[in-house]
Amino acid sequence: MPILTLTTDIGQRDYLVGAIKGQFVNLMPTLNICDITHYLSQTNFPQAAYTCNNAFKFYPAGSFHLLIVNLFESSVKYMLVAKYRDQFIICPDNGLLTMITGTKPAEMVAISFDKKNTLLEMTQMVAEAVAKIHATGNLLAAGPAITNIEEKYPLRATLGPDWMEGQILFIDNFENVVINITKEEFIEQRNGRSFKIVFKRNEIIDVISDNYTSVSESEKLAWFNSAGYLEIALRNGNMAGLFGLQGFNEQMQQAGSTMENKWFYQTVRIFFE
């Protein structure tokens, strides 16, 4: 049974997500469609990459992953279809593909559109391309090969001899805050030293907890979540809201020095001693 995941910034207050699913099922009646999320930010590509990476790896080889994120930022000429780790990722050519993969996939094709095509006309052509790939096993059945694409890459933690600084990747529904520092990166940089996780100027956490129940009610904690990333939280509280922490925003980054104060609240620094 073929599998398609659907990840978008559309939301689910209207008919669009349901209509897109209908287009695929109409062509492939045995298709199993799985929702990842429909509430991604249009400008937070690191958030999209974090979400997709940690979902896609649980799907079997041959799965298709359709992403509709910031699709109409500019004129849409085509969608990319890339074969990566025996799965197929379908997304706009806006840098999102390499944000997810961390590399430029070797096998890619383009599904071409007319500039007048609506969203549902585009997704109909994507559905037809997916059906062709599934039927033939040939990526080129979807369209011509493409090599020149827009490339953006995931944020990495900044390192110093006795510190590391990470950016906020994701804030969940409970306002827990995920940082782009993995457990492996932390252990390597820490090298057995004591540490202080510092955020919002003078807020400090100096212990890594096993889970949320390791601290008392409303206490701050840091732990490595199920994806292996550093997460800071308040037990039964709203960490991001209480401390004014914000997720990374590409538009803010491009604004540069005019956003210095906001940029500060998008980062977390760890000191070692």
Domain extent, residue 11, equals 3-141
Mean pLDDT, range 25-49, rounded to an integer:
94
Does 148 reside within a domain?
Answer: no
* pLDDT at site 266: 81
Q: Write out the two tokens for 150.
A: 């827009």
* pLDDT at site 1: 86
Does 153 reside within a domain?
Answer: no
How distant, in Å, are the alpha carbons of 13, 45, 178, 239, 272 from that of 173? 18, 18, 12, 11, 31
> Quick one: pLDDT band at residue 242, thresholds 50, 70, 90?
confident
Res. 250: pLDDT tops 80: no
> Any idea what the CATH number is for the domain that residue 184 is in?
2.40.30.90
120 and 7 within one domain: yes
Q: What is the pLDDT of residues 166-181, one digit of tens each?
A: 999 889 989 999 999 9
Contact 138, 124 (CB under 8 A): no
Distance from C-alpha of 83 to C-alpha of 108, rounded to nearest angstrom: 6
Tell me the whole-structure pTM to 2 decimals: 0.87
Out of 112, 141, 170, pick the residue that ends a domain: 141
177 and 127 within one domain: no
